[in-house]
Chain A
Amino acid sequence: KQEVTQIPAALSVPEGENLVLNCSFTDSAIYNLQWFRQDPGKGLTSLLLIQSSQREQTSGRLNASLDKSSGRSTLYIAASQPGDSATYLCAVKRTDGGSQGNLIFGKGTKLSVKP
Chain B
Amino acid sequence: GAGVSQSPSNKVTEKGKDVELRCDPISGHTALYWYRQSLGQGLEFLIYFQGNSAPDKSGLPSDRFSAERTGGSVSTLTIQRTQQEDSAVYLCASSRQGAYGNTIYFGEGSWLTVV
Interface residues of A (CB under 8 A from B): 4, 31-32, 34, 36, 41-46, 49, 51, 89, 91, 93, 98-108
List residues of chain B with CB under 8 Å of any chain A CB. 4, 31, 33, 35, 40-43, 45, 47-50, 56, 58-59, 91, 93, 98-101, 103-109
A45 proximity list for chain B (CB < 8 A):
106
- Which residues of the other chain, B, contact A49 by a CB distance below 8 angstroms? 101, 103
Residue of A nearest to B103 (CB): A46
Contact of B100 among A36, A46, A100, A107 (CB under 8 A): A100
Smallest CB gap from A51: residue in B: B101
Given A43-B108, A101-B33, A101-B48, also A32-B43 (CB < 8 A):
no
| Closest A-B pairs by Cβ, 3 of them | A101-B48, A100-B98, A99-B56
B41 near A107 with CB under 8 A, answer yes
Cβ contact within 8 Å between B103 and A99: no
Complexed CA–CA distance, A105 and B104 (Å): 13
In whole angstroms, how far apart are the Cα atoms of A100 and B104 in the complex?
Answer: 11
Closest residue of B by beta carbon distance from A31: B100
